[in-house]
């Protein structure tokens, strides 16, 4: 279930096989609420037979469980997940800071944005936390910072350019450096406000 680098996962699978063990990489998405409600999304890398053997166990904690390929594939999909989530949270934080600067009714704005193409699970789950300034952790910035390091390292290894991802990784690092690592990743809002000179608090 851990989120680690795909290349490390492949090496672990080789070491395990040499000892007669079978490994699947099965990182999860859904945070603490998903774990508590057994609704996690689980992306699984490994052989089809090993996935089939493990699936009943995975069903005890997950709702969306998908075999995505060989060992390391689960970690690669999780890295992509974290890239998308981080980018969405950062853009939501920027949008709310922008709207607040113009004295817009933020609850109304979030409602109408959620009904259009800007709607997303991030908007549904994180806008209210940002508006209430409730940064009690569901998924901590420090963990997302670690995951963004996985994304940037794996992208570099594959020769993939991810300029927005690299920027969000730096903003996540800034949040950790500013003492926000223990807060929910919705606290990226605080970084946007710092960069805006504290505007639109």
Nearest to 65 by CA among 115, 27, 18: 27
The verdict on whether 14 is a catalytic residue reads no
Output the CA–CA distances (angstroms, integers) from residue 34 to 28, 31, 107, 184, in the order listed: 9, 5, 25, 15
**CA geometry: angle 64, 78, 58, nearest 5 deg:** 35
CA–CA dist 156, 33 (Å, integer): 32
Rounded-to-integer distance, Cα 19 and Cα 37, Å: 35
> Of these residues, 14, 78, 126, 129, which one is catalytic?
78
Annotated catalytic residues are: 78
């Amino acid at each position: 279930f851990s989120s680690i680098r795909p290349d490390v996962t492949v090496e672990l699978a080789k070491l395990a096989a040499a000892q007669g063990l079978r490994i699947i990489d099965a990182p999860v998405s859904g945070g603490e609420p998903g774990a508590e409600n057994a609704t996690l999304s689980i992306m699984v890398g490994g052989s089809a037979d090993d996935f089939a053997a493990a699936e009943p166990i995975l069903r005890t904690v997950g709702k969306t469980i998908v075999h995505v390929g060989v060992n390391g594939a689960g970690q690669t999909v999780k890295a992509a997940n974290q890239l998308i989530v981080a980018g969405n949270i950062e853009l939501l934080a920027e949008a709310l800071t922008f709207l607040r600067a113009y004295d817009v009714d933020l609850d109304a704005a979030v409602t109408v944005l959620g009904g259009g193409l800007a709607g997303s699970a991030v908007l549904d789950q994180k806008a209210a936390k940002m508006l209430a300034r409730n940064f009690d952790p569901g998924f901590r910035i420090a963990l997302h910072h670690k995951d963004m390091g996985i994304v940037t390292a794996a992208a570099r290894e594959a020769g993939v350019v991810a300029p927005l991802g690299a920027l969000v990784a730096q903003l996540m690092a800034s949040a950790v450096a500013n003492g926000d690592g223990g807060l929910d990743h919705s606290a990226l809002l605080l970084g946007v406000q710092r960069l805006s000179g504290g505007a639109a608090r």
